[in-house]
Amino acid sequence: MTDPARTEVEEPEPGGRSPGGTAPEPAHRGLTSAEVAERVARGEVNDVPVRSSRSVAEIVRANVFTRFNAIIGVLFVIILIVGPIQDGLFGFVILANTGIGIIQELRAKKTLDSLAVVGEARPTVRRDGTATEIPTSEVVLGDVLELGPGGKVIVDGEVVESDGLEVDESLLTGEADPVVKKPGDRMMSGSFAVAGGGAFTATKVGREAYAARLAEEASRFTLVDSELRTGISRILKYVTWMMVPTALGLICSHLLTLGLPADAAVRRMVAGIVPMIPEGLVLLTSVAFAIGVVRLGRKQCLVQELPAIEGLARVDVVCLDKTGTLTEGGMDLGEVRALDGGDPARTKEVLGAFGASDPRPNASLKAVADACPPPDGWRCTGTLPFSSARKYSGAAFEEPGGERSGWLLGAPDVLLADGDPALAETGRLNARGLRVLLLARAARPLDHPDVAREVVPAALVVLEQRLRPDASDTLRYFAEQGVQAKVISGDNAVSVGAVAGKLGLPGADDPVDARELPHGDADAMARAIERGAVFGRVTPQQKREMVGALQSRGHHVAMTGDGVNDVLALKDADIGVAMGAGSAATRAVAQIVLLNNSFATLPSVVAEGRRVIGNITRVATLFLTKTVYSVLLAVLVACWQIPYPYLPRHLTLLSTLTIGVPAFFLALAPNKERARPHFVRRVMRYAVPSGLITGLAAFATYLLARAHYTGPDALPAQTSAATLTLFLTALWVLAIIARPYTWWRIALVLAMAVGFLIVLATPWLQRFFDLRLVGTVMPWAAVAVAAVAAVLLEVAWRWVGRRFPA
């Protein structure tokens, strides 16, 4: 039996008491230790490996064997053949970046594996007549597993005991209504108990059970599609299409038109192709995600899917469950108000017997049971499990004198008729944020369909909820970040509004009773949900409908929950967030599990997601600017029928100083900018003009250098001047992207400039990179062209920002 005044079904608590204070002997004692050993020897064990991450081999394979690594590898081999080795430096950069990706993901794997073990559900199994919690992997064929509200069916089986057991099979059948289970009925793994209790015998374990696949899918460390990854993949696909014709044009131009030797033509062709590939962008994205997972893992936040970090950062509405999110699980019995001159002593006896009738008391009933000890001589003769649809539960007793009585405990506004005087008092108590239950004597048997009609009110049971100390700050954070918080609860709307009001939630003073929401008109319902902030008396199906209504209005919705009746809403939400102490059902379908049960961890997840998205968008502009100017330079060189100005070593140096090193630091920097949609459009609107200006500036300097430096050995001097312009212009792009400036961002840009100056000033580095500025006229001309390009870049960025706002 669970809390009649709320729809959230909590994880069963171990222990509990029978009416007389002793636990009844179970009818099915389960397997003996010898039988368990025999089944283990036969391999009839639920030994499905629940992986929270990819295997080491999969990690290495995914990071090494990629399309772009294959392309770079082929080009690297070509350079190794034609030489010299310094033109193949880009190959070592790829190896280094791949190694970083592997190391970071292995670190993430270690964290995720350890956290998944912490969050794993432990079923209760009867062995030798004793109920014991064991790891999922130790369940054997024929075990008798106990099941209570919120418990997950981890293996297939057959019901042997049922005390009003209702099972939600929506994850398997799509049917939201719970199914009543009786002895002999089939139990399907992947379903969840929502009411009552019982036990079932395991008939299929391990990979034969449906739970094997469900558990693996629920806890896998996946790299599923996200807007960020999809956008990057689209960009890389376009780049691949451009590479082949560009390579053919360059090699034909250098071999046939210019008559360069084959090795020189190949080097120039490779130099033109390599910078077109933003090979570090995908890898840097994976690294940023992986580091984000590790950071959150240290805060006891289990991210079951990497893009969930990105998804929560895009959320603009977060739907919160009151109990377990805004309030703590524990409750205290405030007072018991007898009605109609009732006897307070007898009322407490009834409450004591009621609390003892449930072997798995949750927070509310436990508070009642702790304050009201079970009376002597009372015998429980029947129970009515709590149901989300009913919002009450019941128990029948035989009292010491032989008198028989039936009692209901539930929501006053459900059990009492409209206009009842007790409802006014209930409203006043709810307005103070107190939870109120009604104890009423039933006039009909518990199994009567109208048992809740014509009840005799006996007492109001007032419970005090414990507010989470960090909930107020968390709600304030969401408000500051432009994220709407909506409290959706099965409790009385006024009571929920009072709790939310104490925490400072805007709109809490106008709570909405979900029973009054428009039905049958999805648009009207969506508008009502958008206006409201607090909703009470919400059924599980309504939670799902409310999430869908918000999504239909273009909102990205996150849903938090800890009860099994939150599963459907969690599944349908853009991001599902479950509490670690919640039911196994919610943990199985949520993308994010807060293992420390702290709602205050959510801002960290949002901040981590915004850091990843904002920074990847920022550095993607750097990578794609290089792609644009590389394509432009290759086309211009082919059209002018002149040698490609750069060698691979030059572009490796420039990419390292203006993209590779700074991108790594910028990708890990703090960033609170709210995530915006249309990643490709937002990146390309800056990358295209930046790449065009940078490429034209470098080509203009190259043409000036060709006119200034003449002779058979003039190409190195021409290349050096063009390289200077290209570096300075690309550095200015970096300086723009690094804004707003902080001391370390300024230091980063300056460090890259100093690094290039060191190369120009050190003789052996000059020889290694084949860079040597000749004279003073052309170098200063190169600087002047770069200065003009910098001005054009500033104008272009401002114009794009106004013409194509994000």
Q: Which two tokens stand for residue 675?
A: 């995530």
Q: How many residues are recorded in the chain?
A: 806
- Give SS3 for 469: coil
The dihedral region occupied by 742, where left means phi > 0, alpha psi between -120 and 50, and beta the remainder, is beta
* CA 504 and chain centroid, separation: 26
Asked if residue 789 lies in contact with residue 691, where contact means CB atoms within 8 angstroms, the answer is no
Peptide bond into 740 cis (omega under 30): yes
Query: What residues contact 570, with CB distance under 8 A and at least 6 apart?
Result: 559, 561, 576, 577, 578, 586, 589, 590
In angstroms, rounded to a whole number, what is the distance separating the alpha carbons of residues 577 and 579?
7
Strand pairing class (392-398; 379-384):
antiparallel
Which of 300-326 are b and which e, b meaning 16 or more Cβ less than 10 Å from the residue's Cβ? Answer: bbbbbbbbbbbbbbbbbbbbbbbbbbb
Contact status, residue 802 vs residue 789, Cβ threshold 8 Å? no
First CA to last CA distance, the chain: 52
Contact 185, 169 (CB under 8 A): no
d(CA 657, CA 733): 12
The identity of residue 500, as a single letter, is A
Enzyme catalytic residues = 321
Beta-strand relationship, 317-320 and 557-561? parallel
Tokens for 313, please give them: 């950062």
- Pairwise CA distance, residues 316 & 555, whole Å: 6
Question: Three-state DSSP class for 84?
Answer: coil
Q: CA 262, CA 273: separation in Å to the nearest integer?
A: 16
Helix residue ranges per DSSP H, 449-590: 471-480, 493-502, 522-531, 540-552, 567-572, 584-589
Hey, which residues does 560 pair with through a beta bridge?
Answer: 577
For 105-124, letters b (16+ CB in 10 Å) and e give bbebbebbeebbeebbbebb
Helices (H), ranges, 333-453: 344-356, 363-371, 412-415, 421-431
H or E segment and range at residue 330: strand 327-338
Sheet containing 557-561: give its strands across: 301-303, 592-594, 575-579, 557-561, 317-320, 484-488, 534-536, 512-513
3-state secondary structure of 319: strand
* CA separation for the pair 366, 463 (Å, rounded): 11
Q: Are 104 and 291 in contact (CB under 8 A)?
A: yes
Place of tokens 């039996």: 1
What pairs with residue 197 in β-bridges?
163
The 3-class secondary structure across 338-373, one letter per residue, is ECCCCCHHHHHHHHHHHHHCCCCCCHHHHHHHHHCC
